[in-house]
C-alpha cells in the first residue's frame, strides 16, 4: 500500500461539507418530530438531545482523534485501548449499523423525487439501486471527488432552506413567537420515538475520522470543521422546525409529505419543488459521505487479520478500498425494502452500543496514558469524563425503553438490533476457531 503522503488530501472546507453530510445533510428526516413530541415539546427535544447526545461524542472524537489521527478512526482507538476483541466488536457493530443507515437514504430520495414524479414509488427498487451503485463509483474515485461533490450538494441543500427561512420571517414579522416548552401530554413511547428521530439526525461524528490520514493537518482541521458543522446542523434544525410551526401545518401532514409541504404553504409550489430538490440532494450527499467512512473500516480490520485479506485490496489507480466499497454496496442493495421507522430504530440502537465503547476507550486511555500528547484534551478529570459519558447513555436508554413500551411493531426492530449486537460475539468466536484450526 503506498504511503499516504502521496495521496491527495481533503481540505478543511471540503471536510466541513463531508462532516455535514455524514452527520446531517439538512433537516430531511426530522419531519415526524412534531407528531411525536407535539408543538410544545418538539423544540425542547431538539435543543436538549444534541447537548446530551452529540456534545459528549464530539469531545470524545476530537480528543481520541488528536491522539491517533489514523485510517480506521474509532476502530483503531477501541482496539488500542481495550484490546483486539473489543476492537472487532466496534468494527463489526459499525459495519452492521451503517448498512442499515445507508439503506435509508435511497428510499428517502424516492420519497422526495415523487414530489415531481408521483409514480416513481412504483420503481423504487431500480432507482435505489442506481443511487447505490453510482455512489459506489464516486467513492472508488477517492475522497477528493466525494469532498467536491459534497460541496456542490451542500449548496443545493442549504439554498432552498435559506429561502424558506427568509420568506417565513418576512411573512410572519411580528408573529415570531416560540411555543412554551413542555412535554406535558407526550406519551412515553412517543417521547422515545422523538428521541430516536433527533438522535438519528445527529449521529455519526465518529464516522468522519476513519479517513483521518487523508485529511490535511487532521488535528486542527477536525477541531475547526466539527464545531462549524455542529453549529450549522443545530441552527438549521431549530429554525426549520420553528418555521414548520409558524406555517400552521398539521404534524400528521408534515410527517407524511415532508418539508416540501411547508414550502408550498410559505412560498407556493415553486418553493415546495426547491425543497424537494434539496431533499434529493441531501440523501445523495449523505449516502456518498457515509459510504466513504464505512468503507475504510473493513479495510483496516482486514489489515489486522480480523476480516478476509481481500477486503484490503486497493484500486491500482485511485488507491481506494474498492472491494470493501463494492461489498458494502451489495449488502445495502439487499436492505432497501425495510420501512423508515424500523431502519431508524435499528440504526440508532446498534450505533449507540458502538459509541459506548469509544467512551470507555477515552476513559481507559486517560487512566493508562495520562501523559500521552493530546493536542485536544477535554478539560475534565476522570470523574468529570465519567459524568460526561453518562449523559448520552441516559438519552440512549430512555429512547430504548420508549420503543420497548410501544407497540409490537416497534419492538420487532429493537429485538433485531439486539440480535445484531449479539452477532458480534458469534462472529468473534468463529474467527477464533478459524485461527485455531489454521494452527
* Domain-located, residue 10: no
* Domain-located, residue 384: yes
Average pLDDT of the chain to the nearest whole number: 85
* Domain-located, residue 228: yes
* pTM of the complete model: 0.83
* Domain-located, residue 245: yes
Q: pLDDT of 406-433, one tens digit each? A: 666 678 888 888 999 999 999 999 988 8
Model confidence at 173, in pLDDT bands (50, 70, 90)? low
The CATH number of residue 416's host domain is 1.20.1740.10
Number of domains the chain contains: 1
* Domain-located, residue 29: yes
> Percent of the chain at pLDDT above 90?
33
* Domain-located, residue 337: yes
Which H, E and C letters describe the chain, residue by residue? CCCHHHCCCECHHHHHHHHHHHHCCCCCCCCCHHHHHHHHHHHHHHHHHHHHHHHHHHHHHHHHHHHCCCECCHHHHHHHHHCHHHHHHHHHHHHHHHHHHHHHHHHHHHHHHCCCCHHHHHHHHHHHHHHHHHHHHHHHHCHHHHHHHHHHHHHHHHHHHHHHHHHHHHHCCCCCCCCCCCCCCCCHHHHHHHHHHHHHHCCCCHHHHCEHHHECCHHHHHHHHHHHHHHHHHHHHHHHHHHHHHHCCCHHHHHHHCHHHHHHHHHCHHHHHHHHHHHHHHHHHHHHHHHHHHCHHHHHHHHCCCCCHHHHCCCCCCCCCHHHHHHHHHHHHCCCCCCHHHHHHHHHHHHHHHHHHHHHHHHHHHHHCCCCCCCCCCCCCHHHHHHHHHHHHHHHHHHHHHHHCCCHHHHHHHHHHHHHHHHHHHHHHHHHHHHHHHC
* Domain-located, residue 1: no
Q: Using CA atoms, how far apart are residues 130 and 305, in angstroms rounded to an integer?
A: 33
Q: pLDDT of 317-373, one tens digit each? A: 777 778 888 888 888 888 887 777 788 888 889 999 999 999 999 999 999 999 999
Domain range for 54? 17-371+380-433
Mean per-residue pLDDT, 187-194: 85
* Domain-located, residue 3: no
Amino acid at each position: 500500500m503506498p504511503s499516504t503522503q502521496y495521496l491527495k488530501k481533503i481540505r478543511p472546507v471540503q471536510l466541513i461539507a463531508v462532516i455535514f453530510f455524514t452527520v446531517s445533510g439538512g433537516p430531511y428526516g426530522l419531519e415526524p418530530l412534531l407528531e411525536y413530541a407535539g408543538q410544545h415539546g418538539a423544540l425542547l427535544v431538539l435543543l436538549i438531545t444534541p447537548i446530551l447526545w452529540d456534545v459528549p461524542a464530539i469531545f470524545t472524537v476530537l480528543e481520541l482523534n488528536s491522539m491517533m489521527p489514523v485510517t480506521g478512526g474509532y476502530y483503531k482507538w477501541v482496539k488500542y485501548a481495550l484490546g483486539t476483541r473489543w476492537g472487532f466488536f466496534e468494527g463489526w457493530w459499525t459495519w452492521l449499523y451503517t448498512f442499515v443507515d445507508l439503506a435509508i437514504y435511497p428510499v428517502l430520495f424516492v420519497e422526495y423525487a415523487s414530489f415531481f414524479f408521483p409514480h416513481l414509488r412504483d420503481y423504487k427498487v431500480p432507482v435505489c439501486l442506481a443511487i447505490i451503485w453510482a455512489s459506489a463509483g464516486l467513492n472508488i474515485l477517492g475522497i477528493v471527488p466525494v469532498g467536491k461533490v459534497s460541496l456542490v450538494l451542500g449548496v443545493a441543500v442549504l439554498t432552498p432552506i435559506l429561502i424558506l427561512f427568509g420568506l417565513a420571517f418576512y411573512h410572519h414579522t411580528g408573529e415570531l413567537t416560540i411555543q412554551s416548552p413542555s412535554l406535558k401530554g407526550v406519551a412515553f413511547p412517543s417521547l422515545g420515538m422523538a428521541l430516536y428521530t433527533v438522535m438519528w439526525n445527529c449521529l455519526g461524528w465518529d464516522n468522519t475520522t476513519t479517513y483521518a490520514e487523508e485529511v490535511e493537518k487532521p488535528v486542527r482541521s477536525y477541531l475547526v470543521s466539527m464545531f462549524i458543522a455542529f453549529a450549522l446542523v443545530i441552527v438549521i434544525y431549530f429554525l426549520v422546525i420553528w418555521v414548520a410551526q409558524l406555517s400552521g401545518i398539521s404534524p400528521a401532514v408534515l410527517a407524511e409529505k415532508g418539508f416540501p409541504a411547508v414550502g408550498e404553504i410559505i412560498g407556493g409550489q415553486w418553493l415546495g419543488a426547491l425543497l424537494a430538490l434539496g431533499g434529493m440532494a441531501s440523501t445523495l450527499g449523505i449516502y456518498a459521505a457515509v459510504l466513504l467512512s464505512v468503507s475504510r473500516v473493513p479495510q483496516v480490520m482486514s489489515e489486522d487479520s480480523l476480516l478476509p485479506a481481500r477486503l484490503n485490496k486497493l484500486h491500482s489507480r485511485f488507491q481506494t478500498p474498492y472491494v470493501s466499497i463494492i461489498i458494502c454496496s451489495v449488502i445495502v442493495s439487499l436492505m432497501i425494502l425495510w420501512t423508515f421507522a424500523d431502519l431508524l430504530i435499528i440504526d440508532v440502537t446498534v450505533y449507540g452500543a458502538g459509541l459506548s465503547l469509544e467512551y470507555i476507550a477515552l476513559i481507559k486511555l486517560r487512566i493508562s496514558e495520562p501523559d500521552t500528547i493530546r493536542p485536544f484534551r477535554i478539560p475534565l478529570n476522570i470523574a468529570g469524563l465519567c459524568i460526561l459519558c453518562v449523559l448520552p447513555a441516559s438519552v440512549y436508554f430512555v429512547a430504548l425503553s420508549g420503543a420497548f413500551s410501544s407497540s409490537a411493531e416497534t419492538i420487532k426492530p429493537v429485538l433485531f438490533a439486539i440480535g445484531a449486537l449479539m452477532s458480534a460475539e458469534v462472529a468473534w468466536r468463529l474467527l477464533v476457531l478459524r485461527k485455531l484450526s489454521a494452527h
